């Protein structure tokens, strides 16, 4: 019985590893030659070089000033979109909603958590201002 459970567990492990490997290879499939390796070595060497150059290009692109300012602008738009979502999820502009969904897929958990905490802080600060304004009008 124990052997059966271990055997089934390893099968699931292999399936998970296979899916993870597919995800890793997914970004390189667009350059992958359709010809076999035998007799088409030049194409396969170009494929290998292109894959490595792409990772270098992505790294260099992410460390440029334009990429940094674009990321800052994306963060500001995300915080504004999430703040509007906190106020009323129905009235969020469609453009901001699609931007927020795109950022949810693109960014990591920790970064999204920090941006959402900032939006909650700004939302709470806005409510405090509204409450002070209403108190001043009453008095």
What pLDDT does residue 7 have? 58
Q: For the chain, what is the mean pLDDT?
A: 81
Structure tokens at 34: 């359709």
Give the pLDDT band (50/70/90) at residue 126: low
Q: Where is pLDDT greater, at 139 or 59?
A: 59
How far apart (Å, rounded) are the C-alpha atoms in residues 84 and 20?
36
62-79 average pLDDT score = 89
How far apart (Å, rounded) are the C-alpha atoms in residues 113 and 33?
40
Whether pTM exceeds 0.75: no
Domain boundaries, position 127:
65-138
Domain annotation covers residue 105:
yes
Beta-carbon count within 10 A of 83 CB: 20
112-122 average pLDDT score = 89
Cβ atoms of 31 and 50 closer than 8 Å: yes
Domain annotation covers residue 14:
no
- Domains contained in the chain, number: 1
Domain annotation covers residue 128:
yes
Give the pLDDT band (50/70/90) at residue 106: confident
Domain annotation covers residue 16:
no
Q: Which residues make Cβ contacts (< 8 Å) with residue 43, sequence separation at least 6?
A: 33, 35
Give the pLDDT band (50/70/90) at residue 59: confident
Domain annotation covers residue 50:
no
Domain annotation covers residue 12:
no
3-state secondary structure of 34: coil
Digit-coded pLDDT (tens) for 6-22: 556 678 888 888 888 88
Domain annotation covers residue 26:
no
Q: Is the pLDDT of residue 43 over 90?
A: yes
Give exposure, 43-60, as e/b (b: 16+ Cβ within 10 Å): beeebeeeeeeeeeeeee
Domain annotation covers residue 78:
yes
């Amino acid at each position: 019985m124990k052997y059966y459970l271990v055997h089934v567990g390893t099968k699931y492990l292999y399936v998970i590893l296979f899916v993870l490997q597919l995800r890793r290879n997914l970004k390189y499939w667009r350059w992958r030659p359709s010809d076999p390796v035998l007799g088409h070595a030049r194409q396969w060497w170009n494929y290998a070089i292109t894959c490595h150059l792409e990772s270098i290009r992505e790294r260099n692109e992410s460390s440029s000033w334009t990429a940094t300012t674009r990321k800052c602008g994306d963060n500001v738009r995300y915080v504004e979109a999430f703040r509007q979502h906190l106020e009323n999820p129905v009235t969020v502009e469609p453009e901001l909603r699609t931007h927020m969904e795109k950022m949810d897929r693109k960014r990591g958990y920790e970064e999204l958590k920090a941006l959402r905490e900032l939006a909650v802080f700004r939302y709470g600060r806005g409510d405090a201002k509204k409450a002070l304004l209403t108190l001043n009008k009453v008095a």
